[in-house]
Structure formats: C-alpha cells, structure tokens
Amino acid sequence: AQTVTQSQPEMSVQEAETVTLSCTYDTSESDYYLFWYKQPPSRQMILVIRQEAYKQQNATENRFSVNFQKAAKSFSLKISDSQLGDAAMYFCAYRAGTYKYIFGTGTRLKVLA
C-alpha cells in the first residue's frame, strides 16, 4: 500500500532564511506524481509545487524547490528567503494511476520575524 510520511510535525525558520521540509513515501509504482500543498489558517489547500516521477530534474517555483530522490523515495521541499506569509501547514501528497491522492500528516511551519 502507498504511504506518505512527514516526520517533522513542526518546523521554525527565521524570516529570510532557508528551511527544508521532509517527505518520504512508499510505492511499488514507477510512474506517479508528487505534490506539496500549503494550508494557511484560511484552510484552503494551495498547490505549491508538483513533480513527475519520470523527470530527473527537480521542480522549482520561484522560492520553492524540491529535492526528489526517486531511489530513496524522498521528496523534500526547500523554501528560500522565507517570508511571514509562508507560515502554514505543508502537506506532501502522492498520486499514481487512478489512485486517489494520499496525503502525509503535515508539517506546521512557523516563520519568526
């Protein structure tokens, strides 16, 4: 069965610094997609970044980038130049074939001024 694990319940980062959120997953599939979603207090889940498993190149979106290690089944999110607005819950998610998204339990990110 596919599982997604986020081992850091909470992380803190100083404003303007860099932080990395960890995610590991378990799957026997070779073709799948991985996502990071941000959930601020407004509760709306917002897509931050996505990665196709068949792509070697790590995805980047402005200050957000991932370190995708397919063999290790690791998918970490790096946030550079952290801003106060980055404070939120971050969820890692996996999807393959017709399977539903499987979400991790989330990491709460605090940004310190």
Identify any residues that bridge with 46 across adjacent strands, giving them in sequence order: 38
- Is residue 4 near other proteins by the rule CB under 8 A? yes
Both tokens assigned to 29: 């599939």
Minimum CB separation of residue 35 from other proteins in Å reads: 6
Which of residues 27, 66, 79, 104 is near other proteins by CB under 8 A?
A: 104
- Is residue 78 near other proteins by the rule CB under 8 A? no
- Is residue 64 near other proteins by the rule CB under 8 A? no
Q: Which stretch binds other proteins (CB under 8 A): 22-30, 59-67, 69-77, 103-111?
A: 103-111
Q: Is 22 exposed, middle or buried (0-12, 13-18, 19+ CB in 10 A)?
A: middle
Both tokens assigned to 51: 């990665």
- Is residue 11 near other proteins by the rule CB under 8 A? no
CA atoms within 13 A on the CB side of 19: 21
CB 107 within 8 A of CB 89: yes
Which residues sit at the interface with other proteins, rule CB under 8 A? 4, 33, 35, 37, 42-47, 50, 91, 93, 95, 98, 100-101, 103-106
